[in-house]
């Protein structure tokens, strides 16, 4: 009798073990581990930034640079990151200001490029003074001032040979009346600046106050001439 009970107990134990193994396999299939991308970028997924036109690749470039600059102590306001996606035409809302700490998209709006960078889509970029072209790459925001374009925000370019002449060129964030849907409706594209990432006039103060005093700004270009030269993007973590 003891042998019969022992056999039944062993049979049940084996059955439970096999069932558990099947359940584990089934659960693994139905709920696979999160990919490296989704685990590393929960903000991108939670905000559905793809639906706003920002690709995961551009966001990951921005986040990589932000992490590098944060580790180097170059940014003071670590919560905010601003992304200008110059792979998009100017009639799209290609400026994204994201609160990383609270996973919020604070602004998604229009932003101008330089007069000599192109008409609808910018294709030419420069670090030269008086070029009237935009400069791509990573920046850190500085302090505000009242200038010829009203309330404005100074920028410091962090990439040598790419945008480090930003202060000398007076490349700043400011509002402009040519950055508007009315201008797009009349012309098919935004007005262009002298190289500054100009924003809508009615949003400019709120945008500047959100990103001032040491946050990271990334101006993206898909051109290999930038991507291959950027020491920040090509630095190993």
Ramachandran class of 208: left when φ > 0, alpha when ψ lies in -120 to 50, beta otherwise: alpha
What's the CATH architecture for 49-234? Beta Barrel (2.40)
CA distances from 200 to 165, 218, 225 (A): 24, 18, 29
Tokens of 142: 């500085």
Q: Which of 200, 171, 197 is nearest to 184 (CA)?
A: 200
Query: What are the boundaries of each domain within the chain?
Result: 49-234
What's the rounded mean pLDDT across residues 60-69?
96
| Predicted confidence (pLDDT) per residue in 111-121, tens digit | 999 999 999 99
Has residue 21 got a pLDDT over 50?
no
What's the rounded mean pLDDT across residues 162-188?
98
Contact 117, 134 (CB under 8 A): yes
Has residue 17 got a pLDDT over 70?
no
Has residue 91 got a pLDDT over 70?
yes
Residue 89 has a pLDDT of 98
Has residue 76 got a pLDDT over 60?
yes
Q: Which of 90, 155, 157, 163 is nearest to 126 (CA)?
A: 163
Comparison of pLDDT for 5 and 146, the residue scoring more: 146
Has residue 7 got a pLDDT over 90?
no
Has residue 24 got a pLDDT over 90?
no
Predicted TM-score (pTM) of this structure: 0.82
Between CA 54 and CA 38 the distance in angstroms is: 15
Percentage of the chain beyond pLDDT 70 is 83
DSSP secondary structure code for residue 98 in this structure = E
Has residue 123 got a pLDDT over 60?
yes
Among the listed ranges 12-26, 173-187, 195-209, which one has the minimum average pLDDT value?
Answer: 12-26
Residue 237 has a pLDDT of 61
Has residue 99 got a pLDDT over 90?
yes
Residue 8 has a pLDDT of 38
Has residue 36 got a pLDDT over 70?
no
Distance of CA 83 to the CA centre of its chain: 4
Residue 38 has a pLDDT of 39
Has residue 13 got a pLDDT over 50?
no
């Amino acid at each position: 009798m003891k042998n019969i009970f022992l056999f039944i107990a062993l049979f049940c134990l084996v059955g439970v073990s096999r069932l558990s193994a099947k359940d584990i396999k089934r659960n693994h299939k139905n709920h696979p581990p999160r990919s490296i991308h989704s685990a590393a970028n929960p903000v991108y997924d939670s905000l559905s930034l793809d639906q706003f036109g920002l690709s995961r690749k551009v966001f990951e470039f921005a986040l990589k640079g932000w992490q590098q600059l944060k580790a180097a102590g170059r940014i003071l306001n670590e919560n905010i990151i601003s992304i200008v996606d110059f792979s998009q035409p100017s009639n799209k809302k290609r400026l994204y200001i994201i609160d990383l700490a609270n996973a919020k998209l604070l602004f998604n709006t229009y932003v101008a490029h330089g007069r000599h960078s192109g008409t609808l889509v910018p294709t030419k970029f420069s670090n030269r003074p008086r070029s009237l072209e935009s400069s791509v790459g990573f920046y850190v925001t500085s302090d505000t001032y009242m200038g010829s374009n009203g309330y404005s925000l100074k920028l410091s370019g962090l990439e040598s040979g790419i945008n480090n002449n930003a202060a000398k060129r007076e490349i700043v964030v400011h509002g402009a009346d040519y950055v508007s849907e009315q201008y797009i409706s009349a012309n098919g594209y935004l007005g262009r600046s002298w190289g500054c990432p100009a924003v809508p006039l009615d949003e400019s103060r709120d945008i500047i106050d959100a990103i001032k005093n040491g946050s990271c700004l990334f101006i993206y270009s898909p051109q290999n001439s930038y991507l291959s030269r950027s020491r920040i993007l090509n630095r190993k973590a």
